Amino acid sequence: QIRDAIAQRFNAGPLHGVRVVLTAGPTREAIDPVRYISNRSSGKMGYALAAALQALGANVTLLSGPTNLSTPAGVLRVDLESAEQLLEESLRAVAGAQMFVGAAAVADYRVDMPADEKIKKADATMSLTLSRNPDVIAAVRQRDAKLFVVGFAAETEKLAEHARAKLERKKLDMIAANWVGHGRAFDRDDNALSIFWNGGERELPQASKSELARQLASLIAERFLAARN
Amino acid sequence: QIRDAIAQRFNAGPLHGVRVVLTAGPTREAIDPVRYISNRSSGKMGYALAAALQALGANVTLLSGPTNLSTPAGVLRVDLESAEQLLEESLRAVAGAQMFVGAAAVADYRVDMPADEKIKKADATMSLTLSRNPDVIAAVRQRDAKLFVVGFAAETEKLAEHARAKLERKKLDMIAANWVGHGRAFDRDDNALSIFWNGGERELPQASKSELARQLASLIAERFLAARN
């Protein structure tokens, strides 16, 4: 109805001309020049979503941690490694953007003092002191209260509760949540998502990540246009 | 006839019938179901070496950490993640083998008690206690004193000194050493190697990893046959 009307009006797609910044993939936090801490994100969901939003007419800038994926056609990609780099690039990229989608699996902690040379193994045990990384999506929201901000949550328990809490705490416009761990979601080609926003939710059942991305992109466009009007 | 027999054997390759176990890629040490510690090894050098040894006639079993590489034709590949899994698979695979090549970048430390559920970020700092991983190549050497064992060393300083020390300490037959860090070796398609053995050494100058692998495989075959006769 609203969606159809708008799609008709904009033959080029409902997000025609909308500037979207999307983060994807894991980040890496250096321990030394060789070792790092990372996570099991493959970046597939984020890349598929970048392609799907681009297909709806958006101008997508993809801020990507290390992945082995090809850049979707028509998408501008910026490569980075750490959460601090991601924060810096995000704040730079959202100037003039209307939407931010935080699909990257940002490391929550970084190593306090990465070594300049490879640490030689010496002792039977070793202790790493980690510090909280900046909260990229919260910083982006704080920078621009009018931006339409979509977050992700990867949970191993209490999915809806954790996701709704994150939606409110970070003042997001939408959040897409999925189960992880024990072979679910990461490093796989399919997934399922629960989407929450203020006053609504939708379940996107198990499907390929590209199919899920198309459904999620539609829903994002719908909520974005509703929020705008 | 003897000459023909030798020619025939060499037509089949100098390592015809030799069973080789080769480890490649990084290992991953779980922090929780989502996060892990790893290193910048791409596995490219190990995979190229597996292909080059196979081309010389060897029967190669490739024990591989997580990589995005295709299995070389004719090579049997076993996938694994952690150093402890690599140790277990190595000890299993070397039964009946004549050569072990440890090209994997094995994590020196593992996390003491990986969490069963994703650790929620709570505190401003977090401390990880790590324990030394088993030394795979030393364990393999200890299991079979007759095995021809080739090690690798990735160094950020004092390359020859560290490599020679490792050769002697672990009773290796050969060691291939390269510089790492600051954009060298890892995640690249070319590399340079310094090869050391008891009473000799050779420099293999900067070349593609597949070319280097062919040169290293030749040298390995040469030293292996010399040690055997």
The token pair at A206 is 């198990």
Provide the 8-state DSSP code for B134.
P
* B132–A123 C-beta distance less than 8 A: yes
Q: CB pairs below 8 Å between A and B: how many?
A: 108
Q: Does A229 touch chain B (CB under 8 A)?
A: no
Name the percent of chain A lying above pLDDT 90. 73
Tell me, what's the pLDDT at A9?
54
Contacts of A156 in chain B (CB under 8 A): 33-34, 117-118
A131 contacts A110 by C-beta, under 8 angstroms:
yes
Nearest CA in chain B to A181: B33
Rounded to 5 degrees, what are φ and ψ at B189?
-95, -10
Nearest CA in chain B to A68: B68
Please tell me the distance from the alpha carbon of residue A122 to that of residue A217, in angstroms, as a whole number.
Answer: 50
How many other CB atoms sit within 10 Å of the CB of residue B226? Answer: 9
Tell me, what's the pLDDT at A33?
84
Q: Does A181 touch chain B (CB under 8 A)?
A: yes
List the single residue in A31, A108, A125 with the smallest CB-CB distance to B129: A125
Q: Does A126 touch chain B (CB under 8 A)?
A: yes
Q: Which CATH superfamily is domain A2-111+130-228 in?
A: CoaB-like (3.40.50.10300)
Q: Which amino acid is at B215?
A: Q
pLDDT surpasses 70 at A98: yes
From residue A197, alpha-carbon distances to A102, A163, A191, B183, B215 in Å are: 15, 10, 20, 43, 59
B53 contacts B46 by C-beta, under 8 angstroms:
no
Q: Within chain B, what is the greatest distance between any pair of CA atoms?
A: 77
Q: Does B47 touch chain A (CB under 8 A)?
A: no
pLDDT in tens, chain B (229 residues): 666 655 555 568 999 999 999 999 999 999 988 899 999 889 999 999 999 999 999 999 999 999 999 999 999 999 999 999 999 999 999 999 999 999 999 999 999 888 877 777 777 888 889 999 999 999 999 999 999 999 999 887 889 999 999 999 999 999 999 887 655 655 667 788 999 999 999 999 999 999 999 999 999 999 999 998 7
Q: Which amino acid is at A65?
A: G
pLDDT surpasses 80 at A168: yes
Q: Which of the residue ranges A29-38, A130-139, B120-129 would you say has the lowest mean pLDDT?
A: B120-129
> Any idea which residues of A carry the catalytic annotation?
39
A77-86 contacts: CB < 8 A, separation 24 or more? Answer: A80/A27, A81/A27, A81/A28, A81/A30, A82/A27, A82/A28, A82/A29, A82/A30, A82/A107, A82/A110, A83/A27, A83/A29, A83/A107, A83/A110, A83/A133, A83/A134, A83/A136, A84/A110, A84/A133, A84/A134, A85/A27, A86/A23, A86/A27, A86/A136
Q: Does A39 touch chain B (CB under 8 A)?
A: yes
* B130–A108 C-beta distance less than 8 A: no
- Sort B77 into a burial class: Cβ within 10 Å, 0-12 / 13-18 / 19+: middle
A53 contacts A92 by C-beta, under 8 angstroms:
no
Q: Does A68 touch chain B (CB under 8 A)?
A: yes
- Which uninterrupted H or E stretch holds B209? helix B209-228
Tell me, what's the pLDDT at B123?
78
Contacts of B130 in chain A (CB under 8 A): 125-128
Q: What would the mean pLDDT of A42-68 be, rounded to a whole number?
A: 96
Contacts of A39 in chain B (CB under 8 A): 34-36
Residue-wise over B14-23: b if at least 16 C-beta within 10 A, else e?
Answer: bbeebbbbbb
User: For chain B, what are the domain ranges?
Assistant: 15-109+129-228
Report pLDDT digits (tens) over A172-224: 999 999 887 655 655 667 788 999 999 999 999 999 999 999 999 999 999 99
B168 contacts B151 by C-beta, under 8 angstroms:
no
- Domain B15-109+129-228 matching CATH 3.40.1390.10: the answer reads no
Q: Does A83 touch chain B (CB under 8 A)?
A: no
List the single residue in A39, A129, A155 with the smallest CB-CB distance to B125: A129
* A121–B132 C-beta distance less than 8 A: yes
Please tell me the distance from the alpha carbon of residue A18 to that of residue A217, in angstroms, as a whole number.
Answer: 13
Output the 3-class SS for B153-201. EEECCCHHHHHHHHHHHCCCCEEEEEECECCECCCCCEEEEEEEECCEE
Q: Does A180 touch chain B (CB under 8 A)?
A: yes
Please tell me the distance from the alpha carbon of residue B41 to that of residue B26, in angstroms, as a whole number.
Answer: 5
> How far does B104 lie from chain A, in Å, by closest CA?
13
Contacts of B36 in chain A (CB under 8 A): 37-40
Q: What would the mean pLDDT of A56-79 be, rounded to a whole number?
A: 96
* A33–B37 C-beta distance less than 8 A: no
